[in-house]
Amino acid sequence: MLIYDIADPRLSGVSVTDVRVDRELSYASIYVSALEGSARSKEILEAFRHARGYIRSELASRIELRTFPQLRFNWDPTFERAERIEQLIASLNLESDQNNRDGVNAEEIEAEEHDNDAVE
């Protein structure tokens, strides 16, 4: 892969998540992400912008097009969003479990009170 040919350490652990090319083949929007999340996004995007000419040249030599699109690099927040959604679901499950336990405890107390009233 071309990303491994770039000798910039800022690009270690980076993934290209999507590429969208406009109809006229003027621009290619390249979406990238990293395991560390958005903490390194500015650094990573700057590294890609720095290597933009090299990347475009290499891609143009490998892909036959009359003109090759200009490259635009964007941060893809999908991983962060997915992680946030998983956290929300986990907290809802925890809350639901807690409510179920509290409901069972309340029912047990009510049943004991009812049994005690029946004995008297």
In this structure, which amino acid lies at residue 70?
Q
Report CA torsion sign: 48, 72, 15, 25.
negative
Torsion of CA 36, 41, 43, 45, to 10 degrees: 130
Q: Which CATH architecture has domain 1-76?
A: 2-Layer Sandwich (3.30)
pLDDT, tens only, 16-36: 999 999 999 999 999 999 988
List of the chain residues with pLDDT < 50: none
Domain boundaries, the chain: 1-76, 77-120
CB–CB of 2/32 below 8 Å?
no
Q: Distance between CA 56 and CA 38 in Å, rounded?
A: 25
pTM of structure: 0.68
* pLDDT score recorded for residue 36: 83
